[in-house]
Structure 1
Amino acid sequence: MRFLCLFALLLLSSVAGAQTREPVDEFADFDAFLSGFRKETGTPALSAVIVRDGQIAWEGYYGWSDDEGEVPTSADTTYKIASTTKPIAATAIIAEALAGGLSLALPMSSDDGFAETCEWLRASPIPFGSGGEDRHGNAIPAMDCAKPLTLAQMLDMRANGDAFVYNPIAYARIDRAISGAGGRDLRAIVRDRVAEPAGMRDTALGWRDPEGGDALRFLAPPFHVIDGRPVKQVLPDDDFRAAAGIIASPRQMAAFDIAFDTGVLVPPTMIRELVEADISPLGDYRRGWWLEDWEGQRLMWHSGWNEQKGSALYLKVPDKHLTLIVLANTEALWWGNSLVKAEVVQSPIARRFLEEFAR
């Protein structure tokens, strides 16, 4: 009897211990990886969010968001998100078209300066203008200035011909083409069609956004790392275009991501078209997204690079209902992307994330 009582006490003690033990943190290794990445690259501020099944599953904030090292990076810290503006702007433009506010068939020539810009780019040494090769030897065709180009084709990065070429300068003319055809101001389109319905608070659509909230107040200033030391840079003064300009935190980008996936912004069938589209081994670019296949899974992503000032990574694994958003106030997240090949797996952060959570 005494033995049975002792056994029962031991069993109860074991169960109680199991119940109070801390659960395994599945994000701990990734958290440590990002913390180490920030230190190794000399980046002052880095923020990251993982969205899973329609909600924020994890978030991490590293370093400081001022030049004195006195303001810790937090959920409020904002960044210039550079080219990760493109999928947000493209979604708003498509939503505006679905509502009858513009036509995706409108010609880019509605922008009076587009032809001149095209000819300038074609004669320039810029690879996506005059053509050439990327670092892998993949051919980059020159811009085809004789080709009639529509807004829909520009959203797919077809300014250089039938195959996609990442051409951010041509993409930046989109708002001029829309206004030239009698459409609304792009800032109003993005505010009405995306930012408000997605609940993107304290998000500035460029420096001159009168409804930017606290986005500018919480902005992490840009730095360039020289010999391992971050050197503060002058803030870029470019305003909002379809190509870049949004100032936001990862949480606000996550709000966009959740609204996008749940059909609040555009019909879910349009997202499935991107997931199921046939793409070449080089990948593709459609409606503001790079498309790439990895281990049998479709990836939708965009990177952002503001030279010597900041960088961004926005990566979706649609069939896993999984998204990673990372922002930094140095160019540490940029990996020298090809202009004609989708290769987000070349990013060490993207690769780590995919291997850890998407397999």
Structure 2
Amino acid sequence: MRWLLALVLAAVPLPASAHDSYAEFGAFLERFRRDSATPSLSAVVVKDGRIVWEGYFGTYDDEGELPTTADTTYSIASVTKPIAATAIVAESLAGDLDLGTPMSADEGWADTCEWLSGSQIPFGGGGADRLGNRIAPMDCARPTTLAEMLDMRANGDAFVYNPIAFARIDRAISGAGGRTLRAIVRDRVAEPSGMRNVALGWHDPEGGDALRFLAPPFDVIAGRPVKQAISDDDFRASAGIKAAPRAIAAFDMAYDAGVLIPPALRKRLLEEVEIGPLGDYRQGWWLEDWNGERLMWHSGWDEKRYSALYLKVPARRLTLIVLANTEALWWGNSLVKAEVSQSPVARHFLERYAK
């Protein structure tokens, strides 16, 4: 069974030397956590199809009494996107969903596009990023399909990171008669990957442990963490998963092993998609070339609450997953340029382990 393969991949024992080689990175993350006044931070490194290092730092309750552990969960925000996109692609490969379905199958799509394209939101009404790169406005005349939305093409032929449009994907699927997104992700990704301790949104009937061990969010004000209300947004293709790093690692290992989608689709992203200096966005992944390496990644940002980093260096079979209960991991990346190398945590990791 596919889920059994995923569990076997995670269970291979690792030598102590493999874990020790990441001790410096663990020390870096602890300094980063303290410097950013982040109460709780968790990280996992996957190498050659297994977890080779994991670190859990700080405390995850508002009283500072419960040490962060492997069970501590976080809102992973937009790191939900590659997980949801992979499930949607798998659903289409099984013949249960047509990726040619127009986003207009969502009855609210036209109104949302009209409002967004006329707004001051850069990925809606257009503008420029901090580097001067043009951000095209949302193109309401474009008959955007599910496949194009997974590639962030709602604004035209070039990608623009448009999380509000991406969040309408589940409505387009259900509008076309498809299954709920939660059912698709549970059946096509979570179960086959052997993901545990994960909630697909607040209303997930199988998400109890993930919600029970959730680290509450904090905003850092004048250098001190201040507890915030937890967002009540439910599960969408854009965001909503609550998980510990090991759950994302289980997805990562299953994805690379070809358990979820055919290896040829992953290979296409790595070898056949030509990207320019701004990078690209395909099937829920940012794509970026750094020092001759093709990177696949996603960041997560729940403003004033949570942040996340999911970084893959596929040629080296190397993955980093970091979750925090502040926005410390967010670096304000562009909507039209893939620039994970600007993240202090990603840059430190890449320069230490991917050169």
TM-score band, normalised by shorter chain: over 0.9
The percent identity for this pair of structures is: 73
1:121-178 alpha-carbon deviations (Å, 9 max, x no partner): 0111100000001011110010000011000000000000000000000000000000
How far residue 309 of structure 1 moved from its aligned partner, in angstroms, is 0.3
Matched, 1:220 2:178: no
| Residue type of the alignment partner of 1:166 | Y
Determine the structure 1 residue equivalent to 2:25: 30
Which has the higher mean CA deviation after the structures are superposed, 300-309 or 23-32? 23-32
Matched, 1:296 2:288: no
The verdict on how the C-alpha distance between 1:267 and 1:354 changes in structure 2, with shifts beyond 3 A counting, is same
**Structure 1 SS opposite 2:276:** coil
| Residue type of the alignment partner of 1:329 | N
How far residue 346 of structure 1 moved from its aligned partner, in angstroms, is 0.3
How far residue 213 of structure 1 moved from its aligned partner, in angstroms, is 3.4
How many angstroms apart in 1 are the aligned matches of 2:100 and 2:333?
29
How many angstroms apart in 1 are the aligned matches of 2:266 and 2:206?
29
How many angstroms apart in 2 are the aligned matches of 1:135 and 1:172?
25
Contact 2:199 2:242 in 1 (8 A): yes
In the TM superposition, what are the counterparts of 1:168-183 in structure 2 within 5 Å? 168-183=163-178
How many angstroms apart in 1 are the aligned matches of 2:18 and 2:122?
51
How far residue 202 of structure 1 moved from its aligned partner, in angstroms, is 1.8
Contact 2:78 2:301 in 1 (8 A): yes
How many angstroms apart in 1 are the aligned matches of 2:249 and 2:109?
33
| Residue type of the alignment partner of 2:330 | W
Determine the structure 1 residue equivalent to 2:325: 329
| Residue type of the alignment partner of 1:326 | V
How many angstroms apart in 2 are the aligned matches of 1:118 and 1:111?
11
Runs of 4+ in 1 over 6 A off after TM superposition: none
- TM-score with structure 2 length normalisation? 0.94
Determine the structure 2 residue equivalent to 1:271: 266
1:46-101 alpha-carbon deviations (Å, 9 max, x no partner): 00000000000000000000000000000000000000000000000000000011
Matched, 1:152 2:163: no
Alignment gaps of 5+ in structure 1: 1-21
| Residue type of the alignment partner of 1:339 | L
Contact 1:301 1:314 in 2 (8 A): yes
| Residue type of the alignment partner of 1:354 | L
How many angstroms apart in 1 are the aligned matches of 2:71 and 2:175?
37
| Residue type of the alignment partner of 1:110 | A
Matched, 1:209 2:185: no
Determine the structure 1 residue equivalent to 2:180: 185
| Residue type of the alignment partner of 1:117 | T
Selected match of 1:81 from 76, 79, 94? 76
Determine the structure 1 residue equivalent to 2:12: none
Selected match of 2:136 from 119, 135, 141? 141
Determine the structure 2 residue equivalent to 1:17: none
| Residue type of the alignment partner of 1:357 | Y
Matched, 1:131 2:126: yes
In the TM superposition, what are the counterparts of 1:45-84 in structure 2 within 5 Å? 45-84=40-79
Determine the structure 1 residue equivalent to 2:342: 346
Determine the structure 2 residue equivalent to 1:13: none
Determine the structure 2 residue equivalent to 1:307: 303
How many angstroms apart in 2 are the aligned matches of 1:68 and 1:250?
23
Alignment gaps of 5+ in structure 2: 1-16
How many angstroms apart in 1 are the aligned matches of 2:142 and 2:228?
40
Selected match of 2:162 from 164, 167, 182? 167
| Residue type of the alignment partner of 1:34 | L
Contact 2:26 2:55 in 1 (8 A): yes
How many angstroms apart in 2 are the aligned matches of 1:68 and 1:346?
33
| Residue type of the alignment partner of 1:84 | V
How many angstroms apart in 2 are the aligned matches of 1:83 and 1:140?
20
Matched, 1:355 2:334: no
Q: Which has the larger radius of gyration?
A: 1
